[in-house]
Amino acid sequence: MEDGAIVQIYVRDNNVDQALKALKKKMQREGTFREMKRRNYYEKPSEKRVRQKAEAIRRARKLARKRAVREGLLPGKPVTPRT
């Protein structure tokens, strides 16, 4: 989420549970929970570099796996026909 960005959730028919669910989903999608957890404590610069490197490796592996599935080198998820 951008710094200072405002998130708006509308409560319809006094359904607060649905509004909270929508807020959680939006925050999860934008990475706010991960960011709050990460900023909860001070992270040393060396630990930050290690974390960022691990995230980059994870992203590269995921991208390579997707590419291999697309090219037919790896089997993808089995598709179950709808009835």
pLDDT in tens, 29-76: 988 888 999 999 999 999 999 999 999 999 999 999 999 999 988 888
pLDDT-derived band at 21 (thresholds 50, 70, 90) equals very high
**Amino acid found at 69:** V
Task: State the pLDDT at residue 3.
Answer: 65
pLDDT at 8 over 90: no
27 versus 2: which is more confidently predicted? 27
